[in-house]
Amino acid sequence: MTEYIKHLDWILDQLKWVELKIKVEKCEFVKPEIKLLSHWILAEEMIPDLSKVAVIKAKFENCWILKMDKAWKKLKKRLIEAPIFRHLDFTKLFILYINISKKRVNAILA
């Protein structure tokens, strides 16, 4: 606790030195945990606020499901319609996607 008091004293001195003031009624001291930027900061670790994580995850999953459903429908439509393959159009830009690992090299020309 004495280390904490020394650190707090140093911070308050620094604020005074640069002529900044704090509102004591808005400050909280000697707390075992604080919430900051959607995270809980504990003595030994920092963890995300699980309620925020759940909301973000739900929004992401809903968005992902809608995008995947749309992509799946588009893929099914393209696979059953002719032509599936066509000749290259050299007037259009080619994009080469490459994925390299220790075992293989994958590439897709789009």
Q: What is the pLDDT of residues 89-100, one digit of tens each?
A: 788 888 878 787
Instruction: Give the pLDDT confidence of 23-49 residue by residue, as tens digits.
Output: 888 887 778 888 877 788 887 888 888
Phi, psi angle pair for 100, to nearest 5°: -115, 130
Question: What is the DSSP code (8-state) at residue 83?
Answer: P
Q: Which domain holds residue 30?
A: 2-49
Torsion of CA 20, 26, 31, 35, to 10 degrees: -100
Closest by CA to 109, choosing from 93, 92, 95, 89, is: 95
HSE (CB half, 13 Å, CA atoms) of 82?
A: 0
Banded model confidence at residue 5, pLDDT cuts 50, 70, 90: confident
Report the number of distinct structural domains present in the chain. Answer: 1
110 located within any domain: no
40 located within any domain: yes
SS3 29: coil
Amino acid at 99: N
pLDDT of residue 84: 61
Per-residue pLDDT averaged across 4-16, rounded?
86
Site of tokens 């999953």: 61
45 located within any domain: yes
Is the pLDDT at 101 greater than 80, yes or no? no
Is the pLDDT at 51 greater than 80, yes or no? yes
Per-residue pLDDT averaged across 11-28, rounded?
86
pLDDT of residue 83: 64
Sign of the dihedral through C-alpha 79, 82, 85, 88:
negative
pLDDT of residue 77: 82
Distance CA 79, CA 108 (A): 18
68 located within any domain: no
